[in-house]
Amino acid sequence: MRLLAALAALALAQPSAAQEGSFERGFELGLRYWLSSGENRFSHNAQGADPTLGNPTSILTYEDLRAHSLELHGRSDVGNGWFVKGNAGFGVIRKGSFDDEDYAAGQVKFLDSTSEVRDEILHYLTIDLGRVIWAGAGGRSTLGMFAGFQQWIERVDAYGAAFTVDTFGIAADVPGGVLAITNQVRWRSLRVGLAGRVQVGQATRIVADLALIPYSMLRNEDSHHLRTDPADLGPVPNVISTGRGNGVQLDLEVRHTVYRNTELGIGVRHWQLRSTDAEVSIGGLLLPVNELETRRTGVTASLTARW
């Protein structure tokens, strides 16, 4: 709360650059491509309901989720140092893998299976409101503070199951063409952070956003399609986690003017959110979540027009 109060006080203070009208004003709109790899990792503790189980009881890892995304991004200066910025993107997760591990008491692994993740989707929407708090000579380099909202959703399907551990002989491999599990994770987050633009030459500049996520609402749904019997997990989605979390997001891009007011940019992006207080519903039982984390990291390329 002290951090939020400090950010608010600085943002509301009238920046000297804005008083002098020296910061660069304008509007920009562009397309960005994001090539990334991601992971969603989940574990829970069912030991309280069954002491013969381990803690964590089950670890589900969706990893190496390689995705191609295309987004629309923009920023508009709205006067007196204030600005609005955001992006909206849609992507396809082309491939990945799913690992499901189950443990008995003493962390004895009794099941371990792997599945193939195929074409699925991710999409996100971000909107921020901020204010310039510093501007360099000529106003082409600026530093601003912002607060905003983001929704980030990823959905994957995992097919088949190859068991590498089956201590009690209770499982059988599932053919690769059979849909075994669907996972959808949704984060709705509040963002606060810094937005910087640094001119490093006549035609080149660095654009960076660093956002802290102090609060995020989480909903993670696992649909075990082969366990829908009412005596087992029931209808899908049959494992649902809800709670709250926090995280960090970084966007860094170098842009170069290639024609008049058109810029070509290359950069890096890292988004990471993690639950801090969540529970999972499994077969009517509410169990504590040990870990639920979503990460995505990659490189970006953009084409941006400025007015």
Mean pLDDT of 140-158: 96
Question: Which candidate, 45, 170, 171, places its Cα nearest to that of 107?
Answer: 45
Three-state DSSP string of the chain = CHHHHHHHHHHHCCCHHHHHCCCCCCEEEEEEEEEEEEEEEEEECCCCCCCCEEEEEEEEEEEEEEEEEEEEEEEEEEECCEEEEEEEEEEEEEEEEEEEEEEECCCEEEEEEEEEEEEEEEEEEEEEEEEEEEECHHHCCEEEEEEEEEEEEEEEEEEEEEEEEECCCCCCCEEEEEEEEEEEEEEEEEEEEEEEEEECCCCEEEEEEEEEEEEEEEEEEEEECCCCCCCCCCCCCCEEEEEEEEEEEEEEEEEEEEECCEEEEEEEEEEEEEEEEEEEEECCEEEEEEEEEEEEEEEEEEEEEEC
Mean pLDDT of 26-38: 96
pLDDT at residue 26 in the model: 86
The structural domain count of the chain equals 1
Amino acid at 223: S
Q: Is the pLDDT of residue 6 over 80?
A: no
Q: Is the pLDDT of residue 8 over 60?
A: no
pTM for the whole structure: 0.91
Q: How confident is the model at residue 284 (pLDDT cuts 50, 70, 90)?
A: confident
CATH of the domain at 157: 2.40.128.90
Q: Which range marks the domain in which residue 224 is found?
A: 2-306
Question: Which candidate, 27, 39, 69, 57, places its Cα nearest to that of 283?
Answer: 57
pLDDT at residue 23 in the model: 53
Q: How confident is the model at residue 25 (pLDDT cuts 50, 70, 90)?
A: low
pLDDT per residue as tens digits for the range 166-208: 999 999 999 999 999 999 999 999 999 999 999 998 899 999 9
pLDDT at residue 27 in the model: 92
pLDDT per residue as tens digits for the range 226-283: 999 999 999 999 999 999 999 999 999 999 999 888 999 999 999 999 999 999 999 8
pLDDT per residue as tens digits for the range 99-116: 999 999 999 999 999 999
